[in-house]
Amino acid sequence: MEEKKVMLSGIQPSGDLHLGNYLGAIKNWSARTEEFDCYYFMADMHTITVRQNPADLRRRTLEQLAQYIACGLDPEKNTLFIQSHVHQHAELGWVLNCYTMFGELSRMTQFKDKSSKHKDNINGGLFTYPSLMAADILLYQPDYIPVGEDQKQHCELTRDVAIRFNHIYGDVFKVPEPYIPKAGARIMGLTTPESKMSKSIPEGCVFLMEKPEDIQRKFKRAITDSDTENPVRYDPKEKPGVANLMNIYAAVTGRSFQAIEAEFAGQGYGRFKPAVGDAVVECLRPIREEAQRILSDKAYLESVYKAGAEKASYVANKTLRKVYKKIGFVAK
């Protein structure tokens, strides 16, 4: 039987998962399980480049893991783990720091962006975290890294570092290819339909663990327009708020825009917005209930992240030992 190609993705537990995360990406992840050998990790080491409340970070890390499982990522078929539980990430991160050029790191747009937002805490980790990200990836010798537009630069740097290292020491790292995931629905903010849904604007963001009544309240307050002639029709340029609500409704019900327009023909936003809210509540209900059940079963959750770390460590260690030998470290 042909070996599955390896895919890896790490997500920072820096905030709660929301509807945009789910419909835009996570919903499609479980479908990858059959095609790829997938590693998903909570990138808790990356979060500390910005100051975190320790109790909140612990809570969010476990909540994110529970939500992934509730969204369909079966721990029996995917390797799910917490980054800080696999010490090889930090060790290879330091080695790759020494093979990543200062100029390369200083050109990273995310460093410039975060530096401007956190002027009181421009630390070394904020500057060198792309080397840790390269280590996160290269440890598992993946064939593919799923990348969005905002991560293309990091993917290119990872490839450059791997090629540079291989050029000096021979064939050590597999040079991964970017994988452009199947596009999920592009979900915009309920109060800012011109920009993507973001946890930084909580009033326009629907969180996976949110109470149904809070979700409904947000949809009732969603931005639309003053069109009374033909309110519910798909026109992203003229009616961005309505188009966003139709996108969401289509994504959670499977209905076409044409069917949605027919369903709400002659009806105003007072009927349409609560209907979208109801559909979202019912879509998220099983996820929220399952995530809450998993979080209440601490022994199960612990068994998942311990088994995941054990498998990840085994694979990561093979790569790290090879690297240490190549660069001249004495074997233990």
Q: Which residues are catalytic?
A: 114, 196, 199
Please give the Cα distance from 310 to 317 (Å, whole number).
Answer: 10
CA trace torsion 54, 24, 248, 246 (10° rounding): 140
User: Within 13 Å and on the Cβ side, how many CA atoms surround 175?
Assistant: 13
Strands 144-146 and 177-179: parallel
Q: Let me know the angle formed at the C-alpha of 78 by 76 and 84, rounded to the nearest 5 degrees.
A: 110
Q: Find the helix packing angle between 54-70 and 269-296, rounded to 10°.
A: 100
> What letter does residue 188 receive in the DSSP assignment?
B
Whole-angstrom Cα distance, residue 159 to residue 164?
Answer: 9
Structure tokens at 311: 């498998």
Give 80's strand partners. 40
Residues 279/206, Cβ–Cβ less than 8 Å: no
List the one residue out of 32, 7, 42, 37 whose CA is nearest residue 142: 7
Which residues have C-beta within 8 Å of that of residue 132, sequence separation ≥ 6? 45, 46, 89, 90, 93, 96, 125
DSSP-based three-state secondary structure for 197: coil
Q: How far apart are CA 73 and CA 95, in angstroms?
A: 32
- Sign of the CA dihedral running 213, 216, 220, 224: positive
